[in-house]
Amino acid sequence: MLRPKCLSLAGVLLLLFLCIPAFALDPNRALTQYVHRIWQAPQGLPDATITSILQTHDGYLWLGTEAGLVRFDGVRFSEMASTSPAAQPPLKGAWVRNILEDKHHNLWVGTNEAGLIRLENGVATQYLQKDEPQRSTVQCLLQDRNENIWACTSTGLARLNQGKLTMYGMPQGLPSNNVRSACEAPDGTLWVGGDGNRLSSWNGSSFINHPLTSMPEYGDIRALLCSDDGAVWAGTTNGLIRFAGGREHLMTVKDGLPDNWIYSLIEGRDGTLWIGTKSGFSRFRNGKFESYRTEDGLSQSTVYSLYEDREGSLWAGTKHGLNQFLEGRTIPYTVSEGLPTNDVGPVLQDRDGTVWVGTIGAGLCRFDDARHLTVLTTKQGLAGNEIYALAEDPAGDLWVGTNAGLNLLRHGSVVETYTRDQGLADNHIRFLFHDHAGALWIGTPSGLSMFVNGRFIQPKDASRLSAVAGGEDKAGHFLAATEAGLKIYQDHAFREFAPSDIPLREVDTFFVDQEGLLWMGTLGAGLRLLKDGKVSSYFMRDGLFDNEIYGIAEDSQDRLWMASSKGIFSVNRSDLRKFAEGEIQKFVSTPYSPLDGLRTIESRSGVQPAVWKMKDGTLWFATIRGLLVLDPAKLQRNAPAPPVVIEDVIVNSRKEAPAAIGSAPAGRKDLEFRYTALSFLAPAGIRFRYKLEGYDTNWTDASTRRDAYYTNLPPGKFQFRVIACNVDGLCNESGSAVAFSLAPYYYQRAWFFPLCGAGLLFVAWLVWHMRVRSLRQQFEIVLAERGRIARELHDTLLQGFSGITMGMQAISTGLSAGQGQSRLNELIRDAAQCMREARQSIAGLRAVKGGDAELQAAIAETARQITKSKDIQLKLKLDRGPSHLPASVEGHLLRIAQEAIANSTRHADATTIEVGLRFAKNSICLTVQDDGKGLADAAGPAAGHYGLTGMRERASQIGAQFELLTGPVQGTTVRVLVPAP
């Protein structure tokens, strides 16, 4: 189905594709020279039979199969179904025969038994259903210029106009109700064909029949194509017919078709006609057929469908798989392109532009300027058919080294043959090299030979040198790479060549670049550079792609290209020189990617030369499977950056459309994004980068992975962005994006912690308030108990003492003056003293109840009660204090004042007592001062007297400072300093 998320991107993707130029396959290449890829069940294709192929506006490739509708992005296949639960047409598993996208981007699917299905925003609408009388198999689909949908069915031709269905058949002039194909001509004429040998054209009200006399009556028309030149091409069961101007021309296997039974026809953007048949497919261009069959690699012989996508790839759907044909970055030449064998040897282009390619066992191949191939073998005079070396002399003649001797070719013909009989060291030729003096050096397993002035010369010690390659240094001295090392020819003799005392072993190829520098490839010892008598070495550990190098060439971009055992690679020559001079520590090799069709590109060893730069700048490489032609200037494809689509978002294991996630509720923390890039040139090599804005600080390089995962995301607003780059490094920087937000839990919201703090403060205040209330209640209980004790003392002890005192006074009145009366008076005084003290206790128990004046009043009352019966002057300097002092502070201050005043009246013989109470900002000060004789021992209590100790203890309990100042002259001063509560 077409998902809503795809359609939401339709406008953007449509603009992208409108800006993409249309491409087509290079018609100058043979079909076998295109890159061929195959997808079948092992590669993920749900069903291997492809009946229809279509690329929609968003770039996806849609495949109609016998098991349903499949969407393909170049890497992943997705079986599609409708999202409409009401209609539920059997799209999944249906036999899809044809697919059409209308001008409004709705997808129409013609099926074998489920009728016609329209997918609009993922919702399916079904026509020609089973319960309708017109229901039938839909065999083709077409939208005309008036936006009518035409469906070819087995019971006639159906037309849908704004949802209205009209059926046409034999009553309207069709020769048969079984309509198989239709097309619209440039002039708007509708052409249809089906069973029988008649074409029909629609004139708006009826059909006009056009018999095809070149085919039998029992034949069928299976495919129609209305070409841009006005001709109608009919693919029939009896061949291909071109119908134009009332005239027809039949072409069959006799004309080059692989089979007369034709299933599909399309016209390429360059005017090429592509024909799918029962035995492969063909390209018809310039009046010639070129075919591609199963023996060439096609997945299966029956080609049901053909399609050309926007990037120029040709797609062929067969009974057993999906095939793609595209232009590779190289052009191969193999047996399929006419080579006598894939086992090729040396390659060389002469001064006339002719390309010569030696083979191992099939002679010498010659390519002219038009790339036409001719082969020379022993039948044309070659000494042998195994060619191992080629060289051109200053006169323009070609020297050919074979396994059976040396040949000289002039103007393409063999003019001389040289063997041991003419002085060669051996008939097996390994290499050929012309030095600056014009001498031809011939390397053989049995030694070196030199050909000068028409005869062979054996230099001194040359017979002992089994050389594999030859070259020259900058001074013009001949160098021979032998099994024993590198030898240099100087003063008519060979000696070991070891510049900088470095022996050069295993050299097998030489190359002199445009600056005259000598490069040497070795068999396992890497690359060597000889410059100014100094040898520089390059190995794989330094960045070289391979240590076995069979051939070297350079391009116009200052790169060295090397043929090696691992394939073909290039290195910037400037990087190699910088490495040799110590300016860089490593360099980078760029291997030719084998992604183009996975052809084997291992280079050929033991042939000279193994690579050659042609006059047009192309490089020809000898490989173990034919020739490979590479143009260094055209390595980068002329293709746009790939469009990017975010397909699905998996939120907590639940799939959702990107446009639907919006604002996710709390608890959705795990997300998976599935994305793709819609390019089919090298889809497996597309690289991706993504970033979750609002979470990631940097871009993540996902390489070729097409999904991204995020777990335990915090709440917030995010935007997921993904960009893609093709294999040439061209990136779609705008990419694709989806914005969404994750809602927080209530405890993750901004107000949660301040509210919690306020709640904690409220609880603390409530606890404090309840504690204070509890203390007040306890204090009130204590006050009540003190009142009760005071009442009890007043009503019992005090009344008793009063009665006793009164009785004793009465007795004292009746007694005569004397000792008894004196003693009784003493008892009366003591009883009175006890009564006063009891009253003081009662006053103290009833004193403090809290408030701003109770402490002042209680101290004043206590002081008056104690000094009432004494001849002592009382001075009170009591300030009004703050309200609500703690009860413990008030109580202890009162008791201290009471004890201090009592001590002054009892022990100090004072005449004046001054009591003070002052309230400062940060303290409360209580003072009791007399003018008596002072205390005898202020340091500690006398036996049985604990007044001072009690005052100190009470002061300590309320955190106050207690001071006692006493002396025989200055009297006694008690001072208590309490910090303000």
- 223 near 235, Cβ under 8 Å? yes
Q: Which residue has the tokens 């329209």?
A: 118
Structure tokens, 327: 């232009």
DSSP letters, 675-712, are EEE---SSGGG-EEEEEEETT-SS-EEEET--EEEE-S
Q: Find the helix or strand (DSSP H, E) in which 100 lies.
A: strand 96-101
- 430 near 608, Cβ under 8 Å? yes
- 240 near 275, Cβ under 8 Å? yes
Q: What's the predicted TM-score (pTM) here?
A: 0.73
Residue 761, SS3 per DSSP: helix
**Long-range contacts formed by 200-203: CB under 8 A, 24+ apart:** 200/173, 200/174, 200/175
- 348 near 392, Cβ under 8 Å? yes
Task: Provide the CA 11 distance to its chain's centre, in angstroms.
Answer: 25
Angle, to 10 degrees, between the axis of helix 854-867 and the axis of helix 819-845?
180
d(CA 242, CA 72): 34
d(CA 821, CA 817): 6
Structure tokens, 154: 């087995």
Structure tokens, 114: 């489920």
- 141 near 149, Cβ under 8 Å? yes
| Nearest partner of 223 among 303, 286, 288, judged by Cα | 303
- 626 near 335, Cβ under 8 Å? yes
- 24 near 268, Cβ under 8 Å? yes
Q: Are strands 455-457 and 440-444 parallel, antiparallel or unpaired?
A: unpaired
- 646 near 674, Cβ under 8 Å? yes
- 386 near 402, Cβ under 8 Å? yes
Structure tokens, 943: 């036996």
d(CA 174, CA 193): 9
Q: Which residue has the tokens 């079909």?
A: 31
Q: Mention every residue, 6+ apart, whose C-beta is less than 8 A from residue 741.
A: 662, 663, 664, 715, 716, 717, 718
Structure tokens, 539: 């190995």
β-pair partners for 62 = 54, 71
β-pair partners for 447 = 444
Angle, to 10 degrees, between the axis of helix 887-907 and the axis of helix 854-867?
20
What pLDDT, on a 0 to 100 scale, did the predictor assign at position 84? 46
For the chain, which residues score pLDDT lower than 70?
1-23, 81-90, 130-135, 370, 593-600, 637-638, 664-668, 748, 787-788, 790-803, 805-807, 810, 812-821, 823, 826, 829-830, 832-853, 883-884, 936-946, 981
User: What are the Cα distances from residue 682, in Å, to 39, 177, 225, 595?
Assistant: 14, 44, 30, 7
String of b and e for 619-639 (b: at least 16 CB within 10 Å)? Answer: bbbbbebbbbbbebeebebeb
Q: What share of the chain is helix, strand, coil (3-state, %, to 5)?
A: 20, 40, 40
Q: Mention every residue, 6+ apart, whose C-beta is less than 8 A from residue 699.
A: 689, 690, 691
d(CA 610, CA 176): 63
Q: Mention every residue, 6+ apart, whose C-beta is less than 8 A from residue 338.
A: 373
Q: Which residue has the tokens 């359609």?
A: 7
Task: Provide the CA 723 distance to its chain's centre, in angstroms.
Answer: 8
| Nearest partner of 120 among 14, 11, 8, 7, judged by Cα | 7
Structure tokens, 966: 């006493």
- 320 near 299, Cβ under 8 Å? yes
What pLDDT, on a 0 to 100 scale, did the predictor assign at position 762? 92
Structure tokens, 566: 């691992």
Q: Mention every residue, 6+ apart, whose C-beta is less than 8 A from residue 424.
A: 405, 406, 418, 442, 444, 449, 456
Q: Which residue has the tokens 């021309």?
A: 249
β-pair partners for 355 = 349, 367
| Nearest partner of 625 among 598, 601, 592, judged by Cα | 601
d(CA 389, CA 418): 14
Strands (E) in 491-579, as ranges, are 493-496, 507-512, 518-522, 527-531, 534-538, 549-554, 559-564, 567-572
d(CA 447, CA 16): 66
Q: Mention every residue, 6+ apart, whose C-beta is less than 8 A from residue 521.
A: 507, 508, 509, 511, 527, 528, 549, 550, 551, 552, 562
User: What are the Cα distances from residue 155, in Å, to 139, 205, 257, 930?
Assistant: 11, 19, 31, 135
Residue 151, SS3 per DSSP: strand
Q: Is 597 left (phi over 0), alpha (psi -120 to 50) or beta?
A: left
d(CA 531, CA 204): 82
d(CA 937, CA 605): 124
Residue 836, SS3 per DSSP: helix
- 270 near 229, Cβ under 8 Å? no
| Nearest partner of 146 among 190, 208, 192, 199, judged by Cα | 190
β-pair partners for 527 = 521, 538
Peptide bond into 658 cis (omega under 30): no
d(CA 506, CA 403): 22
What pLDDT, on a 0 to 100 scale, did the predictor assign at position 671? 86
The secondary structure of residue 21, as a DSSP letter, is: P
d(CA 139, CA 221): 12
Question: What is the spatial order of strands in the sheet that 961-967 belongs to?
Answer: 873-878, 912-919, 923-930, 971-979, 961-967
d(CA 88, CA 77): 22
Q: Is 403 left (phi over 0), alpha (psi -120 to 50) or beta?
A: alpha
| Nearest partner of 611 among 384, 936, 199, 330, judged by Cα | 330
Residue 873, SS3 per DSSP: strand
Number of neighbouring beta carbons within 10 Å of residue 285: 15
Rg for the chain, CA atoms, rounded: 56
Q: Which residue has the tokens 């323009």?
A: 396
